[in-house]
Amino acid sequence: MSISYQELGNQTWLVSVSGRLDQNQTPDLEARLNTLLEEGHNRILIDLSDVNYINSGGLRCLVTAWRRAKKDGGNVVLTGLKSRVNEVFSMVGFDKVFEVYPSRKLALQSWQEKQ
Amino acid sequence: MATRWLMATPSSSPFNASVTFMDKKDSLTVPGRYNEIRHICDFVAEGAAQAGFDEDAIFQVQLACDEACTNIIEHTYEAENAGKIQISWEIGRRTFTIIIEDSGKRFDPGEIPPAPVPPTAVRVGQEEDYDVKVGGLGVYFMRKLMDKVTFHYNEGSGNVLTMEKRLPEK
């Protein structure tokens, strides 16, 4: 799995993930998200376009970051969910927890409109 | 190091003694480590493909096994490298059966908190509303993705998890 991140401006950060979000790989993402949140960056867009597998540990990592961002007045939103990854989200209703966008552009547009 | 063996055993039909059915089965033993779970997923995927499942069903079998083995490391061994995981699959007449064994402490699925009922109740507005429950997802997935899931504990040898999925219609 690889993780890259960049500031998009307006206090919004993009985190791009690729590979498998499982127990073996999730700790790296968890550490990256925790660092961003500890630095006060609580508006995070996570791009999962290159994630082909997620298990409950991956879901737990994302929900934990979402919960923390929400409590700090921010949000963690998602884009690029492949059908199988989306199926896993749907099975536990997490597709209703997160704001999920079909593209980065639409996610950012939505964020700007809400400001 | 993983060890595996492949067997094919004849079983006779209770309905027609002239019919001989060859069960396909295979087994694998790996150390209880997270980085072995991918190996386990590939192993069960191979069996599920031989059983005739499509890619979606193979994915479901892999995820169920992933969750089961993750639970073993987290809840019965309570650490990585604390014991082995033995996994076997068998293609029967009507079902694909996976048996996962460990020698850790007794696993009682009743002690695992219930998973969220979809859609997860989230009301926006109050801080406590963001307290989405994330415990129990592993067992929830296993039960959701497989047709039958049973947990058994043998004194002296450990936990035996059996998961079954009906074979696809031909």
Q: Is the peptide bond before B118 cis (omega within 30 degrees of 0)?
A: no
The larger pLDDT score, comparing residue B65 to residue B130, is at: B65
What letter would DSSP give residue B25? Answer: E
A62-98 pLDDT, tens digit each: 999 998 999 889 999 999 999 999 999 998 888 888 9
Per-residue pLDDT band for B92 (boundaries 50, 70, 90) equals very high
Structural tokens at position A54: 């997620």
**Which DSSP string do the residues of B41-65 spell out, in sequence order?**
HHHHHHHHHHTT--HHHHHHHHHHH
| Domain B3-13+21-106+138-166 CATH superfamily | Histidine kinase-like ATPase, C-terminal domain (3.30.565.10)
CB A37 within 8 A of CB A66: no
Please report the number of interchain residue pairs, chain A to chain B, with beta-carbon separation below 8 angstroms: 75
Is the CB of A1 inside 8 Å of chain B's CB atoms? no
B102-128 pLDDT, tens digit each: 999 998 877 766 665 554 445 444 444
CATH number of domain containing A73: 3.30.750.24
Tell me what pLDDT residue B51 has.
Answer: 96
Residue B21 has pLDDT above 80, yes or no: no
Per CB-CB distance under 8 Å, the chain B contacts of A23 are 34, 37, 66, 70, 73
**Residue A14 vs residues A4, A31, A104, A108: alpha-carbon distances, Å:** 8, 15, 9, 10
Contact A97 B63 (CB under 8 A): no
Per CB-CB distance under 8 Å, the chain B contacts of A63 are 132, 134
Residue A67, classed as helix, strand or coil, is: helix
* Number of separate domains in chain A: 1
Give me the percent of chain B exceeding a pLDDT of 90.
Answer: 64
Tell me what pLDDT residue B20 has.
Answer: 45
The residue among A42, A97, A103 whose CA lies nearest residue B120 is A97
Could you say which of B67, B127, B132 has the minimum Cβ distance to residue A55?
Answer: B67
Is the CB of B32 inside 8 Å of chain A's CB atoms? no
Contact A56 B70 (CB under 8 A): yes
Q: ipTM of this predicted complex?
A: 0.88
Class of residue B80 by CB neighbours under 10 A (exposed 0-12, middle 13-18, buried 19+):
middle
Structural tokens at position B121: 């109740």
Tell me what pLDDT residue B125 has.
Answer: 45
- The nearest CA of chain B is from the CA of A52 a distance in Å of 11
Query: Mean pLDDT in chain B?
Result: 83
Range of the domain at A52: 2-114
- The nearest CA of chain B is from the CA of A5 a distance in Å of 25
B75-87 pLDDT, tens digit each: 999 999 999 999 9
- The nearest CA of chain B is from the CA of A9 a distance in Å of 26
Nearest residue in chain A measured CA to CA from B58: A84
Over range A48-67, report the average pLDDT. Answer: 94
Structural tokens at position B153: 């504990």
Tell me what pLDDT residue A92 has.
Answer: 85
Locate the domains of chain B by residue range: 3-13+21-106+138-166
Residue with tokens 């073996």, as numbered in its chain: A24
Per-residue pLDDT band for B46 (boundaries 50, 70, 90) equals very high
Tell me what pLDDT residue B10 has.
Answer: 47
Over range B14-21, report the average pLDDT. Answer: 42
